Chain A
Amino acid sequence: MKELMSGNEAIARGIWEAGVQFASGYPGTPSTEILENVSGKYPEVTSEWAPNEKTAVEAAIGASVGGARSIATMKHVGVNVAADPIFTVAYTGVTGGLAIVSADDPSCHSSQNEQDNRYYATAANLAMLEPSNSQEAKDFVRQAMEISETYNVPVMIRMTTRVCHSKSLVETDERKEVPYVPYVKQRRYNPVPAVSYGLHADVMERFKKLEELSNDCPLNTVEWNTGDVGIVTSGVSYQYAKEVFGDAASYLKIGLTNPLPMAKIKDFSSKVKTLYVIEELEPYMENQMKAAGLSCIGKEKVPRLYELNPDILRSALLGVEPKPISHEDFGTVERPPVLCAGCPHRGIYVEMLKLKNIVFSSDIGCYALGRAKDFAFCMGSGFSAAHGMAKMFKKSGSDKRVVGIMGDSTFFHSGMTSMLECVYNNSNVLLVVMDNRITAMTGHQENPGTGYNIMGEEAPLTDIAKVAEALGVKHIKTINPLHLGDCRKALQWGLGFDEPALIITKYPCALKKFSEIDKQEFGSSVKKNYVDTETCIGCRTCVRTGCPALVYDKATKKVSIDLSQCTGCDICMQVCPTHAIRKVEG
């Protein structure tokens, strides 16, 4: 029987079925569940969380050169981090099949930009496959491995949020074991200039062969219905196009999108009166088609911004507007995501927000939901951007100080080199690593600081304070962020130096099930908090900490605590001026 699977579950299944031996990645929405499913369901595949996407790709390259089918998974912005090895492995080629999954996020559902990573495939000369549903997501992994090995090319499997996170029916198959290729030292894997010079010519030769494949490939198919309207499309856009046009158009559905099957596209276009290109985000196919002299309708009608859907296409191409029911007069207010009840980041944030003349350089993670945040750019920028700003404040005579913020997983990802930047080039930044003992934002993945690997096996625990010390940070303090007095003192302490200082706020995520290591270090008894309504004066100081377990009642002018949410972190208790918040007895 067919099974309902998300695109990510299907990719994981495809990894297993295709005989892949090694899978590595760094968690990032919408890609995270791929490796979680591989590690949880398919023990034949060696799966690992890497410290970042670059190390994941490099490990996968090593596995491929060593003769195994291998894959690296990441979200779109992760490919930026991994771009360095990707561009070079496109020159050297592969031994065992090698694929890189890029999970793009049109509409920025949980990302800082909506970059279209199809351009990486053309820029780096990767072959690229774009599945349009879960069945294809699964099947395309095997295709990717075969193309990779046949044409000596790394393959990008480009997904989008809607393919990753939507579920559709999948027919599963068995795993086909693929023998390891015995390792032989090869000159092409040593891309010094003299070698690379020749390899680039090989890449161009390979590209011609891939073009032939693309024009004659079952992944690039024509569905012929009518000569009136022809649609060239790829990925989930194909599903939207089918939804809107049904049998009233013919389709050239492109699954292998780099290189494009231009001869096939030209032939298709010559048989239709009106040619549409339907693709999400950038005019990737459209520009290539126009450069090849074809006349087509694309981004002048189909939006270039954000995720598409059938209604957008219906409106853009057929002029049919949806008729939504208005809710303008309902008085709906926003419901933004917030730091969870009991979040350990809240404590240090309460004290940070009391500081004057401070700029907060934050980073990518849960803590970015906190209010002590002036800007954030990418993983690891929290410290390095803070450094540059702090140096220029000093140079220009400004008395503002800069606090750099990042989480534990971000620190291991790319924060260590950013910390080194602060030390080596010496600025008076105050660095804060908010160590909640897990990669929390993406749903609790282990990282080098947790003491466990993706399989839940014990792993060496990397000590952030010792790393910082080794990097040359001279002033380091580790505190429990649930103790506001300690937070206050640490911040004053750290701002007292004219060189880098580090505060590590260490306490497990409020949603985390304590590991054995956590229990030993932090204990596990919880006594919740409640409000004594007699003593509460309704000043709302506690509510301003932003804890979602606290509710202010306008009628009674009192605060109450939702015990189903309360974790007993005591932060509200510590800020209450009248001591109205107490511990629940027992």
Chain B
Amino acid sequence: MENVQNIILCGVGGQGTILASKVLSAALVAGGYDVKMSEIHGMSQRGGSVTTQVRFGKKVYSPIIGKGSADILVSFEIMEAARYLDDLKENGHVVVNNFKIDTATTASGKDVYPDDIIGKLSKVATTYVVDAGKIAGDLGNKKAMNIVLLGALVKLMQLQQLDWDAALKKCVKPKFIDLNLKAFQAGLDSVG
């Protein structure tokens, strides 16, 4: 099963992780890969932590992986990167959105939102920090940060050759296509 790649996308309900996973999966399917995608939602839609897994390769059996198996972890929120870090392989990579969303308990001052997560991540895994909120905001809509992060992921996995324009057009509402095409390109440019 060495050829199967495992990607975890995580974030907070409402951030668009599922849409990003759909675009990713659509492009991979069109590119001829066997693809499985698994999502957990339900109660987690209500501002909770959400995660999706995308697996692709020549032949994929399980729709999910367990701890310590992901090649790459893309987190749409800083603290969520830490929460799902144990899904990552020892030599796996992290893409983290430099974007913080308080929890119910940190917003009320009961808990403290942890400090320096990005610093700690960088010590244990190769970490790429993307200012997706700012990049998308500069393009006119902060909500497009999910596609910025998708662009960063595509660059790191060297999947640029797939037909991303078609995948975006298939999954995104017509009036947001231009914005998302720009967000995707900005994401590609955001990592070295």
Interface residues of A (CB under 8 A from B): 2, 4, 29-30, 109-110, 133, 161-162, 165-169, 236, 239-240, 242-243, 246, 309-312, 322-327, 329-340, 366, 369, 441-443, 540, 543-544, 546, 548, 550-552, 554
Contact = CB atoms under 8 A, between A and B. Distances in A.
Contact of B37 (A166, A239, A242, A243): A166
Contacts of A369: 43, 46
A110 B69 contact: no
28 contacts: A29-B41, A133-B63, A162-B38, A165-B38, A168-B36, A168-B63, A169-B29, A236-B63, A239-B62, A311-B68, A323-B90, A324-B67, A324-B86, A329-B120, A330-B82, A330-B114, A332-B79, A333-B79, A333-B105, A335-B47, A337-B13, A337-B44, A337-B48, A338-B46, A338-B48, A339-B46, A543-B109, A552-B107
Contacts of A333: 79, 103, 105-106, 111-114
A169 B82 contact: no
Interface in B68-111: 68-69, 79-80, 82-83, 85-88, 90, 92, 102-109, 111
Contact of B49 (A30, A310, A325, A335): A335
Contacts of A332: 79, 82-83, 114
B104 A338 contact: yes
B83 A323 contact: no
Contacts of B115: 331
A109 B40 contact: yes
B152 interface: no
Contacts of A335: 12, 47-49, 79-80, 83, 103-104
Nearest to B84: A327
Contacts of B34: 169
A322 B70 CA distance: 11
B46 A240 contact: no
B67 A322 contact: yes
A2 B31 CA distance: 12
Contacts of B79: 330, 332-333, 335
A309 B88 CA distance: 15
A167 B45 CA distance: 19
Contact of B61 (A242, A336, A338): A242
B64 interface: yes
Given A330-B85, A337-B46, A548-B104, A324 B64 contact: no
Nearest to B77: A335
Contact of A312 (B66, B104, B124): B66
B88 A324 contact: yes
B47 A4 contact: no
Given A311-B66, A333-B105, A337-B44, A167 B61 contact: no
Contact of A4 (B25, B106, B120): B25
A330 B47 CA distance: 21
B38 A325 contact: no
Contacts of B47: 335, 337-338, 340, 548
A317 to B, nearest CB: 14
A543 B109 CA distance: 9
B61 A243 contact: yes
Q: What 10 A-B pairs have minimum CB-CB distances, sorted nearest first?
A: A311-B66, A110-B42, A331-B114, A166-B63, A322-B68, A324-B86, A337-B48, A337-B46, A166-B38, A330-B82
Nearest to A242: B61
B149 interface: no
B172 interface: no
Contacts, number: 174
Contact of B104 (A2, A322, A336, A441): A336
A138 B82 CA distance: 38
Contacts of A540: 108-109
B153 interface: no
Contacts of A340: 46-47
Nearest to B83: A332
Given A109-B40, A340-B46, A554-B109, A326 B63 contact: no
Contacts of B120: 329-330
B42 A366 contact: no
B125 interface: yes
Contacts of A240: 61-62
B29 A337 contact: no
Contacts of A324: 67-68, 85-88
B27 to A, nearest CB: 11
B69 A30 contact: no
B2 to A, nearest CB: 11
Given A4-B35, A324-B87, A330-B114, A546 B104 contact: yes
Nearest to A549: B107
A337 B12 contact: no
B64 A309 contact: yes
Contacts of B109: 540, 543, 552, 554
A71 B111 CA distance: 48
Nearest to A315: B66
B36 A337 contact: no
B113 to A, nearest CB: 7
A243 B3 CA distance: 12
A395 B85 CA distance: 54
Contact of B62 (A161, A309, A366): A309
A240 B62 CA distance: 5
**Most B CB within 10 A of own CB, among A330, A443, A540:** A330
